[in-house]
Amino acid sequence: MASTTYLVTVSGPDRVGVGAELFAALSSLSAHNGQLTDVAQITIRGALVLCAEITVDDSVTPQMVSEALHAHHIIAQGISATVESVQPSDSADGRRLLVTLLAPTISAEQLNGVFRAIAESDATCERIVHLASYPVNCYELVVRGADHAALREGLTTVASQLGLDLAVQRAGLHRRSKHLVVMDADSTLLQDEVIDLLADACGCAEEVSKVTEAAMAGEIDFAESLRRRVALLEGLPATVIDDVRAKLRLTPGARTLVRTLRRLGYVPAVVSGGFLEVLEPLLRDLQVEHYEANRLEIRDGKLTGQLSGDVLDRAGKARALQRFADEVGVPLEQTVAVGDGANDIDMLSVAGLGIAFNAKPLVQEHADTALSVPYLDAVLYFLGISREEIEAE
């Protein structure tokens, strides 16, 4: 028998029991092969919009659906309902993208630009979720369109023009299955560059800082730059490591990020071009179990100006991410990498989602998305984790 699909829209002041009444009404159509095919709801400040899509035999008319709604007392106390015939929806996630918008504040003008870009790509927005209102604003959009390349390009361009951080990802449960989140340490997990703090202790801060900046911008090879900087530390007493560790400052939101990841079943990890002797106690305090960093050579209680073992460079960071993924048991597409420097580029490129955190333009070009806000826990929004979930201790 032929079938018809109806969209039932219930709207008005929210009250207890509306959902139960709607689904009871739709259940009463089961004798006509009624099949619920989609449901969506939003409530803003007590104003309800609840939609349900049901497919039934052709014998069922809009009037019959309306009578079922009246029979179950939905249309009362200011609530109204409409019934309209629609084409069956295509629920295949392959045509959907998740678009995450993030900024300190998001204006109607900015949203206008985003929605214009969506329309110009011949796409539509199916759902909007407000993930956070502080310390930044974040919206997640479910967008449907046939030309994903054009949609990504249009959204990326307009986001840059409007000052929005934006991530575009394929929709589906796999997004919530990214079980491994690998972070750089210096200027990502930490506000500081550890090598610069060590340089302060030996009186060569200016020289080391220049080499550090050139390395992070990709102007010189990271491994060579690290050896040059470490060589300047020769003769420092090993006790300086404890002094430097005491000065380390976590990036705002770093502790919240790690704590939330662990509580929700994700695995946080750190891969650093810095030094294990400085970082390891801090990572243990954060309960980060997967980490790798360079090692300083120490003899007779002093730094020799050399490294112990191979340099953990750009390629080494990517290999560490792959090894952690193997240990955790997840494919690379279910990993996230977060970093700020040129030596993070390979790691950002191989991860399922690469996030450039307050990074140089060169690094942003190789990442899937960029964060320009100073809060590291904003990474959670790109995983679809709301502020409410973050604070649900």
**Residue range 45-97, pLDDT digits in tens:** 899 999 999 999 999 999 999 999 999 988 888 899 999 998 876 544 447 89
Residue 154 burial (C-beta neighbours within 10 Å; 0-12, 13-18, 19+): buried
Q: What is the CATH number of the domain that holds 147?
A: 3.30.70.260
Domain finish residue from 122, 140, 171 = 171
- Residue type at position 294: N
Cα separation, 319 vs 301, whole angstroms = 32
Contact between residue 212 and residue 196 where contact means Cβ atoms under 8 Å apart: yes
Are 365 and 246 in a shared domain?
A: yes
Residue whose entry in the numeric block shows the structure tokens 């207890």: 16
Helices 205-216 and 194-202 pack at an angle, to 10 degrees, of 160
Q: Which of 92-96, 200-204, 365-369 has the lowest mean pLDDT?
A: 92-96
Are 365 and 387 in a shared domain?
A: yes
Q: Which of 65-74, 129-138, 191-200, 218-227 has the lowest mean pLDDT?
A: 218-227
Q: What is the CATH number of the domain that holds 348?
A: 3.40.50.1000
pLDDT in tens, 270-280: 999 999 999 99
What percent of the chain stands above pLDDT 70?
96
Domain finish residue from 30, 56, 86 = 86
In this prediction, residues 353-372 reach a mean pLDDT of 95
pLDDT score at 92: 45
Cα separation, 193 vs 321, whole angstroms = 21
Are 222 and 102 in a shared domain?
A: no
pLDDT score at 175: 64
β strands within the chain, DSSP E: 3-13, 35-44, 47-57, 80-86, 96-103, 124-132, 137-144, 165-170, 180-183, 267-275, 290-294, 296-299, 302-307, 335-339, 353-357, 369-371
In this prediction, residues 313-321 reach a mean pLDDT of 96
pLDDT score at 76: 81
Are 59 and 116 in a shared domain?
A: no
Residues 6+ apart with CB under 8 A from 351: 182, 321, 332, 335, 336, 337
Q: Is 344 known to be catalytic?
A: no
pLDDT in tens, 108-153: 999 999 999 999 999 999 889 999 999 999 999 999 998 999 999 9
In this prediction, residues 298-318 reach a mean pLDDT of 95
Residue of 186, 313, 346, 377 marked catalytic = 186
Domain finish residue from 171, 195, 215 = 171
Residue whose entry in the numeric block shows the structure tokens 């309306």: 66
Domain that holds residue 29: 3-86
Residue whose entry in the numeric block shows the structure tokens 């939101």: 253
Are 60 and 105 in a shared domain?
A: no
Best CA proximity match to 185, nearest among 275, 252, 261: 275
Residue of 165, 184, 192, 377 marked catalytic = 184
What percent of the chain stands above pLDDT 90?
77
Q: Is 184 known to be catalytic?
A: yes
Residue whose entry in the numeric block shows the structure tokens 């060569």: 204
pLDDT score at 212: 77
Are 148 and 216 in a shared domain?
A: no
Are 49 and 81 in a shared domain?
A: yes
Within a 10 A sphere around the Cβ of 268, how many other Cβ atoms? 24
Are 231 and 259 in a shared domain?
A: yes
* Domains identified in the chain, total number: 3
pLDDT score at 174: 63
Are 238 and 333 in a shared domain?
A: yes
In this prediction, residues 283-307 reach a mean pLDDT of 97
Are 190 and 294 in a shared domain?
A: yes
Are 210 and 119 in a shared domain?
A: no
Tokens, residue 376: 């590291």
∠ CA 124-130-135 to the nearest 5 degrees?
Answer: 135
Are 38 and 123 in a shared domain?
A: no
